Each structure stands twice: as C-alpha cells, then as structure tokens.
A = this chain, B = another copy of it.
Amino acid sequence: MQSNRLLAALRRKDRDHLIAACDEVELTIGDVLWEPNKRIRHVYFPLDSFISQLVPVDARENLELALVGNEGMLGTSLVLGVNSSMLQARVQGSGAALRLDAASFRRELEHIPALRKQLNRYIYVLQNQLATTAACINFHSLDLRLARWLLMTHDRADFGSFHLTHKFLAQMLGVRRVGITNAAGLLQKRKLLSYSRGHITILNRAGLEKVSCGCYQVSKDMYERVLG
C-alpha cells in the first residue's frame, strides 16, 4: 500500500487529521465516480488506484485529458469553489483511495492552510499538463502519444502490466481502434512492449521514453519542480 504524495507533503499533524476524516475505499476499474456537470459528492486521494478524467465531445466521443494517481487528487474543482466539473471521472486502475465528502473537504480546506496551498500548486501543475496535452495532440503522431500515455499510466500503476484493450486505448486517445493497433504494433516491433488480449506489458521502459515525444518529460518535470 502506497501513500498519497500530496498528503505526504503535509505536516504529520495536518495529515493525520485529514486522513482521520477520510474513508478508505476500494475502487474498481470502470467505476464512474462523477458524470460531467453533475454535483461532486466526494473528492478522492488515490493510493494505488488511478483515475481518468475525460472530456465528452459531441455527445458521443471521449478524450482523456488527465490521469490522477497517488501523486494527485480528484476533485480540484471544489478547491476553486465550484462543485461540478465538465469532465467525467472514470477509474482506470483498480485499487484503494482515500475518500472525503465535499462538505468535510471544504471544512478541512479552511482548517489546514497548508492543504489549500498544496492543492493550489497541484492545480497549477494540472493546468500546465493540460496545456502540454493539447500541444501534443496538435503536433505529435499517434505512436508518440500512445508511448506517452503508456508511460504516464505505468508511473501510476507501478507495475509493468495492466489491462488495456486497443478499443479502450482508442477511446482514451480519441482515435480509431485500428489506429491503436497500428501504433501499438510499431512499438511492439521495437520490443518495447508486448500485449495479448487486453494485457499490455512494458518490456523496455527506457526505450519507450526515448521513443516518446518530449511532452512526457515536460509534464513530469513540471510536477517535480512545483510539488516534488
């Protein structure tokens, strides 16, 4: 069991107080924690789970814009004083998370200035990651984007294999399923990964980083610089 990095940065007393207020819950892949523009009832601090945030497009398609693992928190809108978000939150890796209802969370934000400060910085990082993602979509080809996506997921899953079908990846990246098959085929030919029926294993992480566009490193550096 891991801890949550945002909470780990708090002073022991603040952290204990906050964790005591939370429930530890088990999240299962596929769970939808919020629908777009519905009231947010809980915030989540993932421990070893991770959660996608998806923007719905034209009522049919989706696109993943942010991945929240134990380095982050789901529910930043509440920090900004708004109790909904246009993004859908979907569990993408099963595991544990600390959960806190919205009202309690607001109370904790008032009581623990360091928490607000930390989460503000996290929001800054998220914003910049969003900017990087937009640029990546515009300029980089699908295989680069796929490599980046796998690296980000790998960081949060901290084990080298996970359950991801091509169809699922296509929904995340907002492309056709066949596009993923091709891109993944390229990466597989270079012995960077292997997969069969929804089970992807990263064989050569360093190689994958080399193939991926710089966007991965930019996002990662941003996090370390502001929150590390």
Residue ranges of A at the interface with B (Cβ–Cβ < 8 Å): 55, 57-58, 61, 63, 65, 77, 79-82, 85-87, 117, 120-121, 123-124, 126-128, 130-135, 137-139, 174, 213-214, 218, 222, 226
Whether B135 contacts A57 by the Cβ 8 Å rule is: yes
Residues of B within 8 A of A128 (CB): 85-86
Residues of B within 8 A of A218 (CB): 86
Whether A55 contacts B135 by the Cβ 8 Å rule is: yes
Show 5 residue pairs from A and B whose CB-CB distance is below 8 angstroms, ordered by the A residue: A81-B117, A82-B226, A86-B132, A134-B134, A135-B174
Which of B124, B131, B137 makes the CB contact (< 8 A) with A80?
B124
Cα distance A138–B139 in the bound complex, in angstroms: 10
CB distance from A83 to the nearest CB of B (A): 10
Residues of B within 8 A of A63 (CB): 134-135, 138-139
Question: Given that A139-B63, A139-B174 are contacting pairs, would A131 and B55 also be in contact in the complex, using a CB cutoff of 8 Å?
Answer: yes
Residues of B within 8 A of A133 (CB): 134
* Residue on B nearest A62 in the bound complex, by CB: B135
Cα distance A138–B57 in the bound complex, in angstroms: 10
Cα distance A181–B34 in the bound complex, in angstroms: 42
Whether A121 contacts B80 by the Cβ 8 Å rule is: yes
Cα distance A111–B116 in the bound complex, in angstroms: 17
CB distance from A130 to the nearest CB of B (A): 5
Whether B86 contacts A121 by the Cβ 8 Å rule is: no
Residues of B within 8 A of A65 (CB): 131, 134-135
Residues of B within 8 A of A137 (CB): 134, 137-138
Which of B124, B134, B213 makes the CB contact (< 8 A) with A77?
B124
Closest 10 pairs between A and B when the two form their complex, measured CB to CB: A134-B134, A80-B124, A80-B120, A138-B174, A57-B135, A55-B131, A130-B130, A82-B124, A55-B135, A81-B120
CB distance from A156 to the nearest CB of B (A): 20
CB distance from A171 to the nearest CB of B (A): 12
CB distance from A214 to the nearest CB of B (A): 7
Question: Given that A131-B65, A137-B134 are contacting pairs, would A58 and B121 also be in contact in the complex, using a CB cutoff of 8 Å?
Answer: no
Question: Given that A63-B134, A130-B131 are contacting pairs, would A121 and B55 also be in contact in the complex, using a CB cutoff of 8 Å?
Answer: no
